[in-house]
């Protein structure tokens, strides 16, 4: 694993590779070993998803429930206590060698990362109509401050998360995932004063250029295809999220080498 301290988000150059839920095509997503493996490969960013348990612990899981990832637990994360969540086995579905692997907490992954990479933290909306819970958000901020992680983190979320983040932590960069109020994610990024946005299948060169014209950094989520990643870097995508960390890092290394030595952003390889 890398033992250095990364540049903070505002100073780290682009383009970047972000490990989507860690090294998740090889290891259980959002697990400590998936993040450790991604850091060992040298990714610039890691991405994960945060929910609050019934008794107020911040845990990492993409889905609202455990059915897809756990062998022995199917409950909704928000309705389960920390102890109940910790009983979930998220390793056995991947390999019997990983039997008993537990869900990670936000505290644990911040300690593991130790500012070795930038963090794309997706705060999952619990009740978008009533807004994200302020007390829960403050717990997240307290953990970030415990590990001096604010300069290394940007907050990804839908409208309710973005609104609260702008009010409570305007110093932390926001990454727009909101698509519901407008078909144009660039417009929503401007609306919520986001420095970043995250395209999915809705990207285009025109949208990318519009975002860049407004000073907005662009992510793409996500690809395991090296040729697709090369295409995204060539068209100007700033950060590519991937489950196949090792493959896309190889693309980045080639791309970065040619851009560095030719000083031509459109050079192929």
The one-digit pLDDT tens for each residue of the chain (269 residues) are: 445 789 999 999 999 999 999 999 999 999 999 999 999 999 999 999 999 999 999 999 999 999 999 989 899 999 999 999 999 999 999 999 999 999 999 999 999 999 999 999 999 998 878 899 999 999 999 999 999 999 999 999 999 999 999 999 999 999 999 988 777 999 999 999 999 999 998 899 999 999 999 999 999 999 999 999 999 999 999 999 999 999 999 999 998 876 766 654 443 33
Residue 10 lies in a domain: no
Tally the domains of the chain: 1
The verdict on residue 204 lying in a domain is yes
Extract the tokens encoding 236.
């100007």
Residue 22 lies in a domain: yes
> What's this model's pTM, rounded to 2 decimal places?
0.94
The pLDDT score that the predictor gives to residue 257 is 73
Q: Is residue 8 part of a domain?
A: no
268 in a structural domain: no
Within a domain: residue 7? no
What range does the domain containing 113 cover?
16-262
Domain-embedded: residue 147: yes
Q: Could you tell me the CATH number of the domain that includes residue 80? A: 3.20.20.190
Residue 99: inside a domain, yes or no?
yes
């Amino acid at each position: 694993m890398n033992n250095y301290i990364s540049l903070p988000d505002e100073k780290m150059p682009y383009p970047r590779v972000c490990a989507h839920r860690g090294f998740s095509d090889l290891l259980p997503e959002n697990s400590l070993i998936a993040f450790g493996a991604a850091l060992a490969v040298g990714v610039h960013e890691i991405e994960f998803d945060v929910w609050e348990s019934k008794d107020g612990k911040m845990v990492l899981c993409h889905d609202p429930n455990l059915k897809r990832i756990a062998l022995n637990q199917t409950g909704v994360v928000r309705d389960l206590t920390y102890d109940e969540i910790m009983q979930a086995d998220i390793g056995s579905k991947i390999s019997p060698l990983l039997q008993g692997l537990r869900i990670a907490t936000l505290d644990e992954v911040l300690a593991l990362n130790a500012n070795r990479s930038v963090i794309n933290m997706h705060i999952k909306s619990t009740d978008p109509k009533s807004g994200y819970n302020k007390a829960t958000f403050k717990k997240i901020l307290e953990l970030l401050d415990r590990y001096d992680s604010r300069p290394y983190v940007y907050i990804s979320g839908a409208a309710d998360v973005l609104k609260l983040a702008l009010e409570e932590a305007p110093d932390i960069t926001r990454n727009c995932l909101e698509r519901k109020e407008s078909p144009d994610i660039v417009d929503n990024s401007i609306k919520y004063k986001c420095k970043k946005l995250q395209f999915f299948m809705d990207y285009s060169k025109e949208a990318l250029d519009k975002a860049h014209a407004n000073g907005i950094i662009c992510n793409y989520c996500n690809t395991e295809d090296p040729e697709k990643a090369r295409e995204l870097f060539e068209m100007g995508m700033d950060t590519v999220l991937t489950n196949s960390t090792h493959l896309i890092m190889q693309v980045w290394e080639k791309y970065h080498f040619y851009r560095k030595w030719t000083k031509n952003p459109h050079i192929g390889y």
